[in-house]
Structure 1
Protein backbone atom coordinates (compact mmCIF):
# COMPACT_ATOMS: atom_id res chain seq x y z
CA UNK A 1 0.00 0.00 0.00
CA UNK A 2 2.82 2.41 0.86
CA UNK A 3 4.49 1.84 -2.51
CA UNK A 4 1.31 2.47 -4.44
CA UNK A 5 0.59 5.66 -2.46
CA UNK A 6 4.08 7.01 -3.11
CA UNK A 7 3.84 6.05 -6.79
CA UNK A 8 0.48 7.83 -7.04
CA UNK A 9 1.93 10.90 -5.35
CA UNK A 10 4.98 10.92 -7.60
CA UNK A 11 2.94 10.44 -10.77
CA UNK A 12 0.45 13.06 -9.61
CA UNK A 13 3.25 15.57 -9.10
CA UNK A 14 4.67 14.74 -12.53
CA UNK A 15 1.27 15.27 -14.15
CA UNK A 16 0.84 18.56 -12.28
CA UNK A 17 4.29 19.73 -13.43
CA UNK A 18 3.59 18.79 -17.05
CA UNK A 19 0.27 20.64 -16.88
CA UNK A 20 2.01 23.64 -15.33
CA UNK A 21 4.54 23.93 -18.16
CA UNK A 22 1.68 23.33 -20.63
CA UNK A 23 3.30 20.22 -22.05
CA UNK A 24 0.29 18.10 -21.15
CA UNK A 25 -3.32 19.03 -21.86
CA UNK A 26 -6.18 18.35 -19.49
CA UNK A 27 -7.72 15.87 -21.94
CA UNK A 28 -4.49 13.83 -21.86
CA UNK A 29 -4.60 13.70 -18.06
CA UNK A 30 -8.23 12.60 -18.02
CA UNK A 31 -7.58 9.94 -20.63
CA UNK A 32 -4.53 8.62 -18.75
CA UNK A 33 -6.40 8.58 -15.46
CA UNK A 34 -9.34 6.74 -16.96
CA UNK A 35 -6.98 4.20 -18.50
CA UNK A 36 -5.32 3.67 -15.12
CA UNK A 37 -8.62 3.10 -13.34
CA UNK A 38 -9.78 0.68 -16.00
CA UNK A 39 -6.42 -1.14 -15.94
CA UNK A 40 -6.74 -1.58 -12.17
CA UNK A 41 -9.94 -3.58 -12.70
CA UNK A 42 -8.43 -6.05 -15.18
CA UNK A 43 -6.42 -9.22 -14.67
CA UNK A 44 -3.29 -7.21 -15.52
CA UNK A 45 -3.50 -5.32 -12.20
CA UNK A 46 -1.59 -7.95 -10.15
CA UNK A 47 1.16 -8.06 -12.79
CA UNK A 48 1.52 -4.28 -12.72
CA UNK A 49 1.55 -4.31 -8.90
CA UNK A 50 4.22 -7.03 -8.86
CA UNK A 51 6.31 -5.02 -11.30
CA UNK A 52 5.99 -1.86 -9.18
CA UNK A 53 6.88 -3.82 -6.04
CA UNK A 54 9.97 -5.26 -7.74
CA UNK A 55 11.13 -1.85 -8.93
CA UNK A 56 10.59 -0.32 -5.50
CA UNK A 57 12.50 -3.17 -3.82
CA UNK A 58 15.37 -2.69 -6.26
CA UNK A 59 15.44 1.07 -5.70
CA UNK A 60 15.24 0.52 -1.93
CA UNK A 61 18.38 -1.62 -2.01
CA UNK A 62 20.47 0.99 -3.81
CA UNK A 63 22.99 2.73 -1.58
CA UNK A 64 24.69 5.95 -2.52
Structure 2
Protein backbone atom coordinates (compact mmCIF):
# COMPACT_ATOMS: atom_id res chain seq x y z
CA UNK A 1 0.00 0.00 0.00
CA UNK A 2 2.74 2.49 0.92
CA UNK A 3 4.60 1.73 -2.30
CA UNK A 4 1.45 2.26 -4.38
CA UNK A 5 0.71 5.60 -2.77
CA UNK A 6 4.31 6.70 -3.24
CA UNK A 7 4.27 5.77 -6.91
CA UNK A 8 0.97 7.57 -7.41
CA UNK A 9 2.45 10.71 -5.86
CA UNK A 10 5.64 10.36 -7.93
CA UNK A 11 3.79 9.87 -11.21
CA UNK A 12 1.42 12.70 -10.30
CA UNK A 13 4.34 15.06 -9.77
CA UNK A 14 5.98 14.01 -13.03
CA UNK A 15 2.71 14.56 -14.86
CA UNK A 16 2.28 17.97 -13.21
CA UNK A 17 5.77 19.12 -14.23
CA UNK A 18 5.36 17.80 -17.78
CA UNK A 19 2.13 19.76 -18.11
CA UNK A 20 3.71 22.85 -16.59
CA UNK A 21 6.71 22.74 -18.96
CA UNK A 22 4.38 22.24 -21.94
CA UNK A 23 6.15 18.97 -22.79
CA UNK A 24 2.79 17.24 -22.62
CA UNK A 25 -0.55 18.53 -23.80
CA UNK A 26 -3.60 18.40 -21.51
CA UNK A 27 -5.28 15.98 -23.92
CA UNK A 28 -2.36 13.56 -23.77
CA UNK A 29 -2.29 13.83 -19.96
CA UNK A 30 -6.01 13.06 -19.80
CA UNK A 31 -5.51 10.07 -22.10
CA UNK A 32 -2.62 8.76 -19.97
CA UNK A 33 -4.62 9.16 -16.75
CA UNK A 34 -7.63 7.45 -18.30
CA UNK A 35 -5.47 4.60 -19.56
CA UNK A 36 -4.03 4.10 -16.07
CA UNK A 37 -7.47 4.22 -14.50
CA UNK A 38 -8.90 1.58 -16.84
CA UNK A 39 -5.74 -0.54 -16.71
CA UNK A 40 -6.29 -1.09 -12.99
CA UNK A 41 -9.55 -2.89 -13.69
CA UNK A 42 -7.95 -5.44 -16.04
CA UNK A 43 -6.01 -8.61 -15.40
CA UNK A 44 -2.79 -6.74 -16.17
CA UNK A 45 -2.95 -4.77 -12.92
CA UNK A 46 -1.57 -7.55 -10.70
CA UNK A 47 1.51 -8.35 -12.85
CA UNK A 48 2.30 -4.65 -13.16
CA UNK A 49 2.08 -4.23 -9.38
CA UNK A 50 4.26 -7.31 -8.88
CA UNK A 51 6.85 -5.96 -11.32
CA UNK A 52 6.91 -2.55 -9.61
CA UNK A 53 7.29 -4.19 -6.20
CA UNK A 54 10.12 -6.43 -7.45
CA UNK A 55 12.00 -3.46 -8.93
CA UNK A 56 11.57 -1.41 -5.75
CA UNK A 57 12.74 -4.36 -3.62
CA UNK A 58 15.78 -4.87 -5.88
CA UNK A 59 17.00 -1.25 -5.75
CA UNK A 60 18.63 -1.50 -2.28
CA UNK A 61 20.52 -4.63 -3.38
CA UNK A 62 22.29 -2.90 -6.28
Same structural fold, with TM-score higher than 0.5 when normalized by the shorter chain: yes
Match of 2:47 in 1: 47
Match of 1:28 in 2: 28
TM-score normalised by the chain length of structure 1: 0.90
- Give the 4+ runs in structure 1 shifted more than 6 A: none
Gapped runs of 5+ residues in structure 2?
none
Q: How does 1:1-40 map to 2 (within 5 A)?
A: 1-40=1-40
Looking at structure 1, the residues matched to 51 and 41 of structure 2 have their Cα atoms a distance apart, in angstroms, of: 16
TM-score normalised by the chain length of structure 2: 0.92
